[in-house]
Amino acid sequence: MTMNCLTRVTLAAALSLSALGAQAAEVEWRLSHWLPATHPIQPQGIEPWAESIKEASGGRINITIFPAQQLGAAPDHYDMARDGIADVTYVNPGYQAGRFPIASLIEIPFQVTNATDGAAAMHEWYAQYAEKEMPDVKVCMMNPHDPGAFHSKTPIHVPADVSGMNVRPANATIARFVSLLGGSSVQVSAPEAREALSKGVADAMTFPWNSVYLFGIDQILHQHLDMPFYASLQTLLISKASYEALPDDLKTVIDDHCTPEWSKTFSTGWADWEAAGRQKMIDSPDHTLYEPTDDEIALWREAAAPLLDSWKKDVTAKGYDADAIYQSYMDTLEKYGVKY
């Protein structure tokens, strides 16, 4: 009788623990991004970040990931966080030209040498301005890709070669650069780029190296300018309503996962993966990489110079001190050892 009683008690306790373990998390968040689930930013950036939050919160916060524009189009992801369509969104600010002029400074060529310490520097710098420029959301992380290059159907060696070309630019700043060079911009998101190129709507694009393979663009573009000259910024944003609804201890968990150190960690896997694509092309007989001479690099730098003047004009028009913001960015890049 005692044994039966003990057995019933043990069984009841086991069932109770099982039920507790099966309970839903206290907070269920949805994270939306527009890249395919196979893109390295998901397994090497987003998933480890979400898992770390789950662990740090003792399982109280669970984040479900929705890739490939399942919840909305790529250019809409800022507004999706603002409006609570998703709790966390992955945003390319450059997809909406002119909306975030301070952040667009990051997109100007010849400023940052890598995407890892560069991400930490960008995070520290932009934290001064995030509440002013993106007041509707909580800016959590900065995520530049490994510096990208020109990829084209016909060779591009000097700025004059872009004249007359239709180019899919990485962001609004590069679109402006293409226009300065006499080319025309084909404004499509990364997932739509292959179709534009295959249909002849675009002749070239700016892109990081291994993503050329990921999106199947290596089958269309075989000429590559071997010069890492620009970075495209992505940000991880959190709905303010979702964040404010958290108890204080869980807000602390989120705050601890929205730091310059996390921006670097979040960016490292993708940066390493992209860099490997360049060597893959070097080893391939199907691709030609052209390394510009010092004189040709000087031509590219000269051609890009008006972008900074234009950026200062745009930022000043919004009521900001453009010179002070620019100097702050340069100082922060230098502090992290990533100034071009």
Structure tokens at 64: 């479900």
Q: Which tens digit of pLDDT belongs to each residue from 110-127?
A: 999 999 999 999 999 999
Q: Is 73 left (phi over 0), alpha (psi -120 to 50) or beta?
A: beta
Asked if the domains at 24-146+232-274 and 149-230+277-335 fall in one CATH topology, the answer is yes
Three-point CA angle 143, 322, 140, nearest 5°: 25
Structure tokens at 224: 């590559």
- Other CB atoms within a 10 A radius of the CB of residue 62 amount to 16
Structure tokens at 129: 């301005």
Name the pTM for this structure.
0.87
Instruction: Select 24-146+232-274's CATH number: 3.40.190.170, 3.60.10.10, 3.30.420.40, 3.10.20.30.
Output: 3.40.190.170
| CA–CA dist 307, 309 (Å, integer) | 5
Give domain limits for the chain.
24-146+232-274, 149-230+277-335
Q: By C-alpha distance, which of 1, 188, 185, 173 is closest to 102?
A: 173
Q: Tell whether domain 149-230+277-335 is in CATH 3.40.50.360.
A: no
Quick check: 183 and 167 in contact, CB under 8 A?
yes
Instruction: Give the pLDDT band (50/70/90) at residue 172.
Output: confident
Q: Which tens digit of pLDDT belongs to each residue from 245-284?
A: 999 999 999 999 999 999 999 999 999 999 999 999 999 9
**Amino acid at site 275:** A
**Residue 66 DSSP SS3:** strand
